[in-house]
Amino acid sequence: LMLDVREDSEFSDGHIPNSRHIPLGQLKQRMSELEKYKGKTVVAVCRSGSRSGRACGVLRKAGFEHVFNLAGGISAWDQAGFPKEK
């Protein structure tokens, strides 16, 4: 699961295809939406990697074991030339 924790406006400007969007400020309240991914790999994404790093901490505290932060965030994704959708 690619979990995009950016704000709504950032997400609508372009995001990783098939990523799930839950802004960091809503993550704790919306954790139940992610329960089915608890035993799977979750990669958190933001603009640069800072907010997604905090999201990883929240997910680990909630019992998610396979959580990773996308180094460099969506900016690094863009620089690598990977696809995005709107």
Catalytic residues: 46
In order, the DSSP letters of 57-82 are HHHHHTT--SEEE-TTHHHHHHHTT-
Residues 6, 46: contact at Cβ < 8 Å?
Answer: yes
Q: What token pair was written down for 11?
A: 């997400």
> What is residue 34's DSSP assignment?
G
Q: Are strands 20-21 and 42-45 parallel, antiparallel or unpaired?
A: unpaired
